[in-house]
Structure 1
Amino acid sequence: MLIGVHPLLSPDLLHALRSMGHRHDIAIVDANFPCDPDHRRVVRLDGASAADVLEAVLTVLPVETEEPASAWRMIAYDDPAMMLPIFDEFAALVRSHAPDGVLAAVEPNEFKQRAGASYVVVVTGEQRLYGGVVIRKGVVTAPDTRTDHRR
């Protein structure tokens, strides 16, 4: 056990998150998402919801805010205006950790391409349809050395 680390962050997921670089993406997908077994990094968290995994990941992952979008979710039922409850949950979580972060809606095929190209794919036990999100990693800024006394 570690102090201060969200319990959903498994050793495999922590390793993947720590290995990611700036502007790498992480896909958090639902249980129905077709995940290629040849993808290099797949982490399974079958007992957790996608929103819970997103919340856990955002406790340690800086979100990219210097691009038009920080995260992406699918457009549901070919209706860009349709807001499913899980979309509201994703948006609220992104805003709570990155107030300038933007959750963009993209066509399902674009979402699948983004997820497939992600540095890591986390397959959850989420059973709600369209229950996936892709997050882009931002940067961790250096501390202000004028006030940092750890040197």
Structure 2
Amino acid sequence: MLRNFDNRLNADVIHALRAMGHGDDLIISDLNFPSDSVARQTVLGKLLRMDNLSAAEVVEAVLSVMPLDSFVDHPAERMEVSGSPKEIPAVQAEVQKAIDKAEGKSWPMGSIERFAFYERAKKAYAVIVTGEPRFYGCFVLKKGVIPPKAK
């Protein structure tokens, strides 16, 4: 066991998060996303799993150790609802709350059209599939930096 560490993060996920660099994208996907086939095309080349957790729970756990990129307008983005791009389903509202809590401020997500999301996901560092059964529970998180401690 590790102290002060979210035990929902498994060894494979921790390894990927640690290996990612500033600006790398992490995909958090729902159960309906073609996670395995897309993950095979990512930098990591294999699917990461955080089964039995909702998308918001996974985002909360990931953001407990990974900062979001403060150099871009939307370091977190959501997949748009087809035919209704401004609609915010409950799953996306829950993830937004997890982001705001982790960052200590309101930081609205950007949005990506569904098929553009698939293409973006193929270029990501890694894909984590969640146990999220609701539609449109797919997100991009861009890794930020942790500044050095002042001496």
TM-score (norm 2): 0.89
Q: Is the CA contact 1:13–1:43 (under 8 Å) kept in the aligned structure 2?
A: yes
Larger radius of gyration: 1
Mean Cα deviation higher: 55-64 or 92-101: 92-101
Cα-to-partner distance string for 1:37-86 (whole Å, 9 max, x where unaligned): 62413211221111111100000001012112111111113212211111
- State the shift of 1:92 in Å: 1.5
SS in 2 for 1:87: helix
Query: What is the CA RMSD across the aligned residues, in angstroms?
Result: 1.4
Identity of aligned residues (%): 35
Q: Distance in 2 between matches of 1:129 and 1:100?
A: 24
2:76 counterpart of 1:74: no
SS in 2 for 1:95: helix
Matches of residues 27-106 of structure 1 in structure 2 within 5 Å? 27-35=27-35, 36=37, 38-39=40-41, 40-98=45-103, 99=105, 101-106=107-112
Q: Is the CA contact 1:68–1:102 (under 8 Å) kept in the aligned structure 2?
A: no
TM-score (norm 1): 0.89
Mean Cα deviation higher: 74-83 or 50-59: 74-83
Q: Distance in 2 between matches of 1:133 and 1:142?
A: 28
Q: Is the CA contact 1:65–1:100 (under 8 Å) kept in the aligned structure 2?
A: no
SS in 1 for 2:49: strand
Q: Is the CA contact 2:8–2:61 (under 8 Å) kept in the aligned structure 1?
A: yes
When the two structures are aligned, how many residues end up with a matched partner?
Answer: 145
Q: Distance in 1 between matches of 2:40 and 2:61?
A: 26
- State the shift of 1:100 in Å: 6.1
Q: Is the CA contact 1:28–1:133 (under 8 Å) kept in the aligned structure 2?
A: yes
Q: Distance in 2 between matches of 1:12 and 1:106?
A: 27
Q: Corresponding residue for 2:14?
A: 14
Show structure 1 runs of 5+ residues with no match: 146-151
Show structure 2 runs of 5+ residues with no match: none
